[in-house]
């Protein structure tokens, strides 16, 4: 929610719509293999349903992947999903860096602007609202030591991912990442 409000403000400054898409990993737990040392934790034993049902007639299944209903599945699945989002963030930051640099050069401070819609906000110094916003986000990043200049957010809860992005060019980069 917080990310969306920050991105909404950025969307007003950059004249870009706020877009979102979500996804669900199909058979998420079943795609995560277990290490052989964990096999003993995911065995299932139950009375067999085959007739005639003798007292010693048992069914047995040994899983080699995470399964549904196991205590460890959610924890391991969430850690794996967090890793996937961290990898997406790393790739997206690398893809976005040239874009931000082309709008406001981080070394020289020259503002090249952000599209034709930003032109009316250009001040006598040559800076647009977009360049002022980028400067504020870069300053905040130095204070917090976090990535504060981004046109997207990505969150995941176990196997449900939600990505919010500003504008079509950023969506295209997000889909590639």
Flag whether 95 is in a domain: yes
Domains identified in the chain, total number: 1
Residue-range definition of the domain harbouring residue 111: 2-29+70-176
| Two tokens, residue 143 | 């204070």
Q: What does the alpha-carbon distance between residue 74 and residue 68 come to, in Å, rounded to a whole number?
A: 9
Q: How many CA atoms lie within 13 A of 123 on its CB side?
A: 9
Q: For the whole model, what pTM was predicted?
A: 0.79
Flag whether 57 is in a domain: no
Flag whether 34 is in a domain: no
Flag whether 90 is in a domain: yes
Flag whether 88 is in a domain: yes
Flag whether 51 is in a domain: no
Q: Does residue 85 have a pLDDT over 90?
A: yes
Flag whether 140 is in a domain: yes
Flag whether 48 is in a domain: no
Write the Ramachandran bin of 126: left for phi over 0, alpha for psi from -120 to 50, otherwise beta: left
How many angstroms separate the first and last alpha carbons of the chain? 23
Q: What digits encode the pLDDT tens for the residues 26-47?
A: 888 888 888 888 888 777 777 7
- Average pLDDT, integer, range 144-156: 92
Give residue 163's pLDDT band: very low, low, confident or very high (50, 70, 90): very high
């Amino acid at each position: 929610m917080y990310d969306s409000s920050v991105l909404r403000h950025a969307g007003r400054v950059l004249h870009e719509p706020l877009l979102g898409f979500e996804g669900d990993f199909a058979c998420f737990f079943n795609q995560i293999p277990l290490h052989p040392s964990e096999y003993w934790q995911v065995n299932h034993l139950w009375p067999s349903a085959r007739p005639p049902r003798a007292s010693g007639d048992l069914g047995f299944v040994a899983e080699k992947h995470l399964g549904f209903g196991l205590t460890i599945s959610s924890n391991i699945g969430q850690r794996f999903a967090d890793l996937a989002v961290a990898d997406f963030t790393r790739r997206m930051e690398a893809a976005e860096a040239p874009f931000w640099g082309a709008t406001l050069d981080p070394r020289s401070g020259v503002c090249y602007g952000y599209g034709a819609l930003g032109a009316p906000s250009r001040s006598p110094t040559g800076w647009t609202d977009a360049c002022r916003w980028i400067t504020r986000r870069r300053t905040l990043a130095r204070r917090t030591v976090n990535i504060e200049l981004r046109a997207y957010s990505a969150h995941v809860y176990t196997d449900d991912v939600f990505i919010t992005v500003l504008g079509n060019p950023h969506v295209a980069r997000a889909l590639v990442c």
